[in-house]
Chains A and B, each alone.
Chain A
Amino acid sequence: MIALLVRDLRLAFRAGGGFGLGLAFFLIVTVMVPFSVGPNSDTLSLIAPGILWLGALLACLLSLDRLLALDWEDGSLDLLATAPLPLEGVLSIKALAHWLTTGLPLVLAAPVLGVLLNLPAGGYLWITLSLLIGTPALSVVGTFGAALTVGLKRGGLLLSLLVMPLYVPTLIFGAEVARRGASGMSVETPLLMLAGITLGTIALLPFASAAVLRVNLR
């Protein structure tokens, strides 16, 4: 398992691995927002938590189609499926690697980009915390979507269509934490719900992902 994690991280960091693409995309989206809604700093600080969450979600989505497709194309997925690792474990590790290379950098970048959007002072802690708790769910749900569409040509667009509705609860509660935090309200309920969704998906969804991947491999 650890060998797989190390390999996936190494692949992501090597040339052509695409590490940092998600981060750059997050930056671009954030920069584009003031261009589209105007430079008024009050407006920006009002929508900053939501924009940061949406940007992180899109950046996550963007990198999903590489999550399993590369291993599928070169045949490693067949070999991993016949290896002594449970497929559920393989997919959990893949999701973890995806989170470490995509989700975690987004979490760390969010407060910096918050400055660009004039995020209120109280919001920095909560945007970081909500992304830290919420992005693992994005990776795990995304792994399910990637496993569903791995064998398909033109799977990328379909993947987005399938995964987006599944992201709704995470986005709502995550952005709610950031929004309430930024305006100084109590964040307890949405934070607990967010954590609950993340833990629930981590615990259960790999079984569904492994089931659909087995179907796709045969």
Chain B
Amino acid sequence: MSIWEYANPKKFLRTSERVLPALWVAAGACIVGGLIWGFFFTPDDYRQGSTVKIIYLHVPAALMAINAWFMMLVASLIWVIRRHHVSALAAKAAAPVGVVMTLIALITGAIWGQPMWGTWWAWDPRLTSFLVLFLFYLGYIALWEAIDNPDTAADLTSILCLVGSVFAVLSRYAVNFWNQGLHQGASLSLDKEENVADVFAFPLYACMAGFGLLFVALVLYRTGTEIRARRMSALIARERMMDA
């Protein structure tokens, strides 16, 4: 029994259909629970007031925006090396989820930034990096859409993802160098003094887990859709061959 068995489209569909309901429920429970806990049962921050509570959307979305790209990178590598179609389709399926997460992070960030920094947008390194990440997602999705042959599209987009990752990291450093910004440091880290207080952290963990589960569920679901679309076009092509 190896993990690669799930590279078989049918096996993948069967298994993902079995785990999806549980994933939806778990994701929903974590997000709803975390948000209610965070919004109604935590005190206001002594400096930031109640605006701090947008953290329960902002941080998990930002986390998943980056993780989605990372997942696409891994899936692209698996496609390039082992040529499992499901892997390429999973990367394709993750991109729109990632772009929406990036957008949520950007928008909630702007809403949070307005009362805190007095501006909706600043060319702060973190904000700028997310904007650049957003552009990378757009290019990746546009390339998938532009190519008819699915294998060609998978090859080209996965190489774009690999090259893009290198340039995304470079951009992150370039942007850091270009403007040392306003954004507070990481909200959570293991070795830092100035961390988010525990009372805020636990609902945040719940939301992060919820967003993570939601991401997994969405990607599995969308991958299933992509597999069915591929199956459909394979059937149509077969039909055409039969006519010819």
Whether chains A and B associate is yes
Nearest A residue to B163 by beta-carbon distance?
A: A208
**B142 is an interface residue with CB less than 8 A from chain A:** yes
- C-alpha spacing A148/B143, complex, angstroms: 9
A161-B167 in contact (CB<8A):
no
Query: Once the chains are docked, how many angstroms separate the CA of A208 from the CA of B159?
Result: 7
B164 in the interface (beta carbon within 8 A): yes
| Contact indicator A190/B143 (Cβ below 8 Å) | no
Q: Could you tell me the distance between the alpha carbons of A172 and B138 in the complex, rounded to whole angstroms? A: 21
A148 to B156, CA, bound (A): 7
Q: A148-B143, A161-B138 are in contact. Are A172 and B160 (CB under 8 A)?
A: no
Chain B, interface residues (CB within 8 Å), range: 20 to 34
Consensus secondary structure, chain B interface? helix
A176 at the interface (CB under 8 A from B): yes
Q: Which residue of chain A lies nearest to B137 when distances are taken between CB atoms in the complex?
A: A165
Residue of B nearest to A152 (CB): B146
Decide if A158 touches B143 in the complex (CB within 8 Å). Answer: yes
B167–A215 contact, CB under 8 A? no
Stretch at the interface among B97-105, B169-177, B230-238: B169-177
Contacts of A158 in B (CB 8 A): 139, 142-143, 146
B178: interface (CB < 8 Å): yes
- A148 and B160: CB pair below 8 A? yes
Instruction: Looking at the assembled complex, report how far the CB atom of A211 sits from the nearest CB atom of chain B, in whole angstroms.
Output: 6
Is B132's CB under 8 angstroms from A168's CB?
yes
Q: A144-B163, A165-B164, A165-B171 are in contact. Are A176 and B177 (CB under 8 A)?
A: yes
Task: Provide the A153-171 mask, 1 if CB < 8 A to any CB of B, else 0.
Answer: 0110010011011101100
Give 18 CB contacts A-B under 8 Å. A148-B156, A149-B143, A151-B147, A161-B139, A164-B135, A164-B139, A165-B167, A165-B168, A166-B164, A166-B167, A168-B132, A168-B170, A176-B177, A176-B178, A190-B177, A193-B174, A197-B170, A218-B152
